Every structure is written in C-alpha cells, then in structure tokens.
Structure 1
Amino acid sequence: MQADIRSVIVATGSYIPEVIITSTHFINHRFFEKNGNPIAKTNEVILDQFKNITEIEERRYAKKDQNTSDLGFLAAKDALESSGIDGETLDYIIVAHNFGDIAYGTNRVDLVPTLAARIKQLLQIKNPDCVAYDLPFGCPGWVEGVIQANYFLKSGDAKRCMVIGAEVLSRITDPHDRDTMIYADGAGAVILEAVAAADVGILAHKTQSHAVDYADLLTMGPSFAPEKGIEKDLFIKMNGRKLYEYALVHVPQVIKMALDKANVCLYDIKKVLIHQANGKMDTAIMQRVFKLYGEEEFPAELMPMNISHYGNSSVATVPTLLDTILKGKMEGQAIHPGDKILFASVGAGMNINAIVYQN
C-alpha cells in the first residue's frame, strides 16, 4: 500500500534583529489613555506593571536601513544556506506579514510589489514556476501559510514550499500608547517538502475566524496623544482586556479540535510552540487547554517562551522559536526525531489556528 504524502519541515531559518530595546527606552515616553488623558501613574509603575503582565523585558528592532522584506530575506537565506537547498527548486514562497515594508521615519505602508516578490528578487531565484505571494492573516499568518503549503504539497501541485513570517512592528506603533512596548521586529522561515510517509510531518490542523463579534479587538487608529489627533497617521491598536478574554475562551478549543482531528492525545505532545503574544496570556491559555483534559497544571518545559527577550514580533514569533530550538540555541529545550509538537497562534481578525506535527 502506498504511503500517505506528508508535509515535512526540512529546513528552518531566522533573523533576530541586532538592536536591543530594553524597557528603560520608554522611561521618558508620555503615555495616554484612549480618551487622550495622561495615564495617572508614573512611568516607573507603568513599566513594572507591563513586565509583570507580559513578561517582556526587552525586544528587538530592525536597523534603520532594514525593512520587513530585508528581514524576511535574511531568514529565508538562513534556511537555504543551513540546509543546502537550492532556492531554484522552490515551488512556492509564501510570506506572512501585516504591514508590508515601512521605511524608517515614516508610517506609510508599502505593499507593491508584494514582499514575496521582493524576497524572491533578493534571493535571485529566477525560476518562473516558483510562485511568490503574500498572506495577511494577523499574527497567525505564518501558521496559516504552513497550512496552505500543506495543501499544495498533498495535492501534488508542489514538492517544496518556503513559508516566511516577517514583521517590523516598531514602525507602526504609537509611542504614546503603552501597548507599543509589546511589539517587536523579526523574521523566521521554514521549507516544507512532500514526503511519502505515515509517521512524520503535519498530522492535522484547525483554523477558525471569529470576525463578526471580534474583528475590532485589533485595529488601526490615531495616536492617543491629544495634540496628534488631527494627524492622519494610523497605528496598531489593541483592546487588550477583551482580547485576553477572547483568547482564553477560544484558543484552547481550537487546539483541542486539532488534537482530536489528528487522533493525538495531549499527553503525547512534547512541545507547544505558541505565538509569543503575552507571557501571562500564553500561560493562561495552556492552563485552560489542560483543564479541558481534567488537569490543573502543565509542565513548564512543554511550552518554550522567548518573549521576555524578543518581544512580540507577530507572524515571526513561532518560526523564530522553532529555528532557535532546532539549532540548539535555546537552553534546556530540544525537539527530537519522533516528537509530536503543536503550533498555535491567535491574532487580528480574530483568527486562531493550530497544527499537530510529528518531527
């Protein structure tokens, strides 16, 4: 009997920007509430509360001469060079992002041509049958790109796909909104191949979108600073409290749906690579997942976290985390052959997705 076609990750790459931004960078910022009133706390208190909630101590920003497509290119280059794969053999390059390229010192989104086209050009891939396209899907964009690549590979339309998650959020955040301290820049990439096997690769996945009731939890809006209200620039805005409540209710359910679809027990999962959105929220999500199985706690090593040093780089958090672990750059964390792992993400839309994968 012929083995199933599975989508298998054969290469990973990442680019972690060199510029380290500690929380003291924000000590002299003027923070305002949504209504334009100054926050009635000292910046020292604001920074301390922020760290306790998000666990973020520092984040990475792109250099002034780097853009999102540059970061995506560097992650893709790392995946190709570390694996020895020829870029000309790629059938698809899927690039997940939210804002395209935004030049330093501006707030303008640049999406023509697509980031995928720009990255293909930077990689100097001449093969016209290598199709390059963008995928805007909020923070879950990279995970959804892997799901799309899986369909191409299983259908026989492709033999090899690259999926990149790249973002430079530091240029689309409002310096007068305390939420700006969450966001960061980075890029990660994987290459998937179609492999005839039964016990490796993507076992199942699940995606949900809850737009009707929750599309306005992450939006674009003007600066919170009153004197900037007449300006036309828009910045990423988040209803943090409601987003937190939404994630705790819906993300665990989607994760369980993916596990059930794969016929995999939660206790067989060796690692959970979840979108690095907020340290406290991610922990609460995983606690809710275990409660669905009648457990109150989960082992800390199950869910590796790097948000404290890298911040929230949206679509880049999961692939950079994966690359860091697979290349032995994260102390105390490893993924071994045969391990079943779970990818999960939640973000603007609101969208949620999860993938059950066997290494």
Structure 2
Amino acid sequence: MTSKIIGVGNYIPSETITNVFFEEHHFLDERGVTLKQNNETIAVKLKEITGIEERRYANKNQTASDLAFIAAQRAIENAGIDPETLDYIIFAHNFGDVKHDTIQSDMVPSLASRVKHLLQIKNNFCVAYDLLFGCPGWVEGVIQANAFIKAGIAKRCLVIGAETLSRVVDMHDRDTMIYADGAGAAILEIHNGEEGLKSHLSASYTLTEKDYLFFGKSYNTESCPDVKYIKMIGRKIYEFALSNVPTAMKKCFDESGYDIKDLSKIIIHQANEKMDEAIVKRFFDLYNVPMPKDIMPMVIEKLGNSSVATIPSLLAMIMNNELCDHEIKKGDVVLFASVGAGMNINAIVYQF
C-alpha cells in the first residue's frame, strides 16, 4: 500500500516583477553600509547566480491562504473528487498570512482551517493543520500524508504549499530580489498498484546550521529594530546544500530500489539555478554517470523562489503540459528534493 497523486493545482500570481523594479532600491550590507556595486550590476549578478529575471507577487488584496485556496480548488477539480471526502488538509508555509503593507503575521486560526472554510467543507473529521518546515515543507507534507494513508487513518489528503515572501523581505537587502509569491497543491489517495510514493527521507541539521536562514532586523540601522525580515547567509547555505543534499538524494533513491538509469526527472526546490544544477550534477557524480540533459525542469527564471510553493507549482505546470520541454509519462520515476530553513532536507521517489 502507498499513496498516489490524483490531482494537482497551482496559483501563479499575475503581478510580474522584473529586475528593473529594484533599480531605485537602496541596498545595504549587514553593517548598514551602502553596497559599492550599483543596482544594475547587482541585478546582472543575480541573474548569473540564481537565474532569476522575474518573480511574481500576490495582489495587494491577497494573502497566502487566498493563494492556497485557489491552488487547492484547482487540485480538487483536477482530481475530480468531492472535497467532503478529504481526510486531511496539510498546509505548508512559514510566515502565515501577512496583509499588504503590514508587518504582522496572522496564523490563528491556522491557514489550513481557513482554506477548509473557503472550500466550504462540512465534514468535521477532515483534519486541517499547518506545517512549518522551511522550504521543504510541501514535500514533508506529502511524506506525512503518505504516513497517514499507509497507517490506515486516511484515504485521501490535500497537501498545499503557499507563501507570500514579498511581504517579509527587507527592501535594503539584495536577497530581497530572490523571493516570490505563489501556491501549489496536490491530492494524494490510497493506492495498491505500481504507481505512487516509493521511498522518502527527511533530515534536520540544527547543531551548527540552524541559523543559516533566520528572521533578522533590517540592514537599514535607522529602521525599527523590533521589525524582523527573512535573512540568509547565502554562502553557508550554498556550501551546506552541495555537501548534504546530493547524498540525501542518493540515499532516498537507493532505498527505492530503482536503477539510476530508471530516473526520468528531478523536481528540485527552485532556490537558485546555479546551486540546483550543482546539486544535481553532484548527485549523478555519486553514481559515476553524467547528468542527463533536461533531467531538471527549472522555472525560477520567471517565477523566482516562492519557498514551499516551488515544487508543487512546478509539478502542476508539468502535469498540465505548460512546459514545452518537459513532460511526465505513465511509468516515469521522479525524484523530488528540497532544502531550506532549519536546516532541513528531504526527498521523495515517486513513480507516475
């Protein structure tokens, strides 16, 4: 017995933010000193390192749970199910609902409860809860849903990943340019056939790595020190990811029982194009085989890094034939992998 994805959906906000948007920003370093590079050069470097040219922001009247509701609706429609038959709604996020032009996060009631309400589900035994696990949150939600299904306490689960990172960024930090908003969702169902989740792995590195991603004060020393924004130590994250993610991916893939030649796609968290390519190359190096062409779909160039939403959004785009260079066919073996705040890593091997 395992779980099978029977429906997918996403919501990509309509507001496109190009790198030109940041031309008038006053970027500072962590000491509050103006960066020596001009903003045009910073944007060029950003494109070279991360691949990002554009990102999407939610409309001013939308919050993370609003985006999630739309993605959930689409996944339910795609699956062709009655939402009353859902046993669990698992909502992965990290910052809750943050209204435009405010600084307060709202997580009570849970965002999962809000989505359940918006879906107008009457079934009181459909359990709705939130999951905070950094960028790997959606993948972890899938792992938890699979555990519920295999344990016999659920037959059908909705797993959502949604975030509005544009509401929690420091406008004086050049890392602001990386982040984006979005939502993705999938329906998992009990299954006894060949398709489904074959293996999974999760890990939390907290001894010395805990604060590589954190909530910190603005680089503008004149700003209120009590207001916190998403911050990261980019070099540390890059080194951590390259050292640990490929080996975790290999361990997960080896446990699936498949041969590396069977692997059709790797859907990896869209964090940084250069970093993701290096991770996947190192993964194949562990098998002493070259990285296949078109093994790793990337949409970060146009959508940016929307944290927990990147993997389910990308999966929905592929399944809905929205990426001309990528497709997933029946029987394809796909490896999902993510890394993020915690520092957390996880992976899944899935046969479609």
- Interval of TM-score (by shorter of Structure 1 and Structure 2): over 0.9
Select the residue among 327, 334, 340 that pairs with 2:327.
Answer: 334
Amino acid at match of 1:11: G
How many residues of Structure 1 are paired with residues of Structure 2 in the alignment?
A: 352
SS at match of 1:271: strand
Post-superposition offset of 1:227: 1.6
Q: Distance in 1 between matches of 2:73 and 2:95?
A: 21
Post-superposition offset of 1:35: 1.1
What is residue 77 of structure 1 aligned with on the other side?
73
Q: Distance in 2 between matches of 1:181 and 1:350?
A: 22
Q: Distance in 2 between matches of 1:266 and 1:224?
A: 45
Are 1:265 and 2:259 an aligned pair?
A: yes
Are 1:216 and 2:182 an aligned pair?
A: no
Correspondence 1:179-198 to 2 at 5 A: 179-197=175-193
SS at match of 2:208: helix
SS at match of 1:134: strand
Post-superposition offset of 1:231: 3.5
Q: Distance in 2 between matches of 1:291 and 1:269?
A: 14
Amino acid at match of 1:315: V
What is residue 233 of structure 1 aligned with on the other side?
227
SS at match of 1:163: strand
Amino acid at match of 2:294: E
Q: What per-residue deviation string (whole Å, max 9, x for no partner) do you get for residues 267-286 of structure 1?
A: 21101000000000000001
Q: Distance in 1 between matches of 2:292 and 2:23?
A: 35
Amino acid at match of 1:67: T
Correspondence 1:13-24 to 2 at 5 A: 13-24=9-20
Q: Distance in 2 between matches of 1:201 and 1:81?
A: 20
Q: Distance in 1 between matches of 2:259 and 2:33?
A: 49
Q: Distance in 2 between matches of 1:256 and 1:332?
A: 25
Q: Distance in 1 between matches of 2:113 and 2:236?
A: 36
Post-superposition offset of 1:265: 2.0
SS at match of 1:63: coil
Select the residue among 17, 21, 30 that pairs with 1:34.
Answer: 30
SS at match of 2:241: helix
Q: What per-residue deviation string (whole Å, max 9, x for no partner) do you get for residues 70-110 of structure 1?
A: 00000000111222211000000000000000010012110
Q: Distance in 2 between matches of 1:8 and 1:292?
A: 29
Select the residue among 148, 156, 161 that pairs with 2:157.
Answer: 161
Select the residue among 314, 317, 334 that pairs with 1:321.
Answer: 314
Structure 1 gap ranges (5+): none
What is residue 248 of structure 2 aligned with on the other side?
254
Q: What per-residue deviation string (whole Å, max 9, x for no partner) do you get for residues 135-173 of structure 1?
A: 000000000000000000011100000000000000000
Q: Distance in 2 between matches of 1:75 and 1:318?
A: 13
Select the residue among 283, 287, 291 that pairs with 2:281.
Answer: 287
Amino acid at match of 2:314: L
Q: Distance in 2 between matches of 1:207 and 1:268?
A: 22
Q: Distance in 2 between matches of 1:125 and 1:225?
A: 45
What is residue 309 of structure 1 aligned with on the other side?
302
SS at match of 2:207: helix
Select the residue among 28, 36, 51 that pairs with 2:47.
Answer: 51
Q: Distance in 2 between matches of 1:267 and 1:186?
A: 33
Alpha-carbon RMSD: 0.7
Correspondence 1:47-126 to 2 at 5 A: 47-126=43-122
Q: Distance in 2 between matches of 1:254 and 1:106?
A: 38
Q: Distance in 2 between matches of 1:188 and 1:171?
A: 18
Amino acid at match of 2:19: S
**Alignment identity in percent?**
55
TM-score (norm 2): 0.99
SS at match of 2:347: strand
The 8 Å contact of residues 79 and 187 in structure 2, kept in 1 or not, is answered as: no
Post-superposition offset of 1:300: 3.0
What is residue 347 of structure 1 aligned with on the other side?
340
Amino acid at match of 1:272: I
SS at match of 1:211: coil
What is residue 236 of structure 2 aligned with on the other side?
242
Q: Distance in 2 between matches of 1:113 and 1:99?
A: 13
SS at match of 1:28: coil
TM-score (norm 1): 0.97
